A and B are shown apart, each in its own frame.
Chain A
Amino acid sequence: MQELMPTNNEDDQGAFDLWLKGDKKGFSILYEKYKNRVFGFLIRMTGDREIAEDLLQETFFAALRNAEQFDRTRSFLSWLFGIAHKRTIDYFRHVKVEIDHKEDAENAVGSRIDWPDRELSNKNIQAIVRDAVAELDPLQREVFLLREVAGVPFKEIAVIMNCPINTALGRMRLALKNIRKELKKRGIDDV
């Protein structure tokens, strides 16, 4: 009821079936519907546009390869983000960029300290929120993004991240707490 980003699973499955039959329209519908969420998730996780684009391609190519394995009891969105999650994990396993990414994020903090005095435009709010998300611990960040960007329910997040639902909820609470702390530091408090 309170779901702010509803996704119609029946429509998705209909489009998915079209795609399976070789109808271009089926894939176009799904891609246009979810590309910004999947890409948003990937870019917030990796912090790099090019890498996120590579991972986005890999995600959809993997979906194409494994289309026959799609479990129809789950939503298409959860399945797709499950693939995106695996691609991200593989990326972090093979390329040790986490430290560099952290360092980049820390360097970026200095450049935005002077913002609170200015009037906050939408663009600034966007940048501040994105930076606050980038500051999160990777596990907290992933739960937060799966919930807020992808709109995946916590039960599915637990399946995707292979953890108990209470762990997913705990990470989400911590993520919210940390983001609020960061936002307050940068002049955004109780929008």
Chain B
Amino acid sequence: MTCNLWEEKGLLYSSGELNRQEEETFAAHIRQCSECAREWERYRHEREHLFSIEILGENPSAACDAEILRVCSKGTRRSTTISTFSLFLKKSAISLTLFVIGFTVVGYLVFRADLLEERKTDVGMEKEAEDPTRSTTAVTEAAMDKQHDTLADSVHHDSINFANRRGNLELKGVYPVDLQNK
């Protein structure tokens, strides 16, 4: 062969892989170049009669067909969906379990803190009950405090009543006797 263009472009032309411009150029070349035209015709003929799927292709056995169809006909997304769903379920279950555990632990700690505080109070009262000296003093002090408060309140109330009474009388032009005498 004196023309090299078939070697360069012929196979890509036959597989339709040349771009449009290259394809048109090569097609025009084939019409003019007898060598390339012969090569093209030969290869086209070989593909049609010798390299066809009828010559080179082959079918597997029925058993092989059946096995492949059995396994592959189930599809892929179904299993993917199932696995995604089960993954979601697993994650949800783990989250829920952790939440329940956390909630229980926090609840227990709060309950225990309350219990400890209650116990402390009870223990304090018990100790006071067990210590008579301390108890008497405390009761006496409490009684004295109460008495003091009552006394202070009555004095305060008396002075207010007295002031009110006097103020009202002064407004009406009547002066209390004690003031007139002075």
Interface residues of A (CB under 8 A from B): 1-5, 19-24, 26-28, 31, 35-37, 39-40, 43-44, 52-53, 56-57, 60-61, 63-64, 67-68, 125-126, 129-130, 133, 145, 147-149, 153-155, 169, 172-173, 176, 183, 188, 190-191
Contact = CB atoms under 8 A, between A and B. Distances in A.
Interface in B161-178: none
Nearest to B27: A1
Interface residues of B, number: 42
B13 to A, nearest CB: 6
B75 A22 contact: yes
A49 to B, nearest CB: 8
B77 A191 contact: no
Contact of B15 (A20, A63, A154): A154
Interface stretch (B50-58, B120-128, B131-139, B152-160): B50-58
B21 interface: no
Interface in B25-49: 42-49
Contact of A56 (B13, B64, B76): B64
A67 B71 CA distance: 14
Contact of A129 (B48, B51, B74, B78): B51
A190 B42 contact: yes
Contacts of A20: 75-77
B15 to A, nearest CB: 5
B69 A31 contact: yes
B50 A173 contact: no
Interface string B65-87: 10111011111111010000000
Contact of A57 (B11, B15, B64): B64
Contacts of A21: 75, 77-78
Interface of B: 7, 11-17, 23, 42-51, 53-61, 64-65, 67-69, 71-78, 80
Given A28-B73, A153-B15, 5 more contacts: A2-B16, A2-B44, A20-B77, A37-B57, A61-B68
Nearest to A155: B17
Given A27-B73, A56-B68, A39 B60 contact: yes
A148 B73 CA distance: 28
Contacts of A57: 64, 67-68, 71
Nearest to B77: A20
B67 A4 contact: no
Contact of A149 (B53, B74, B75, B77): B53
Contact of A26 (B53, B54, B75, B78): B75
B51 A148 contact: yes
A43 B58 contact: yes
B74 to A, nearest CB: 7
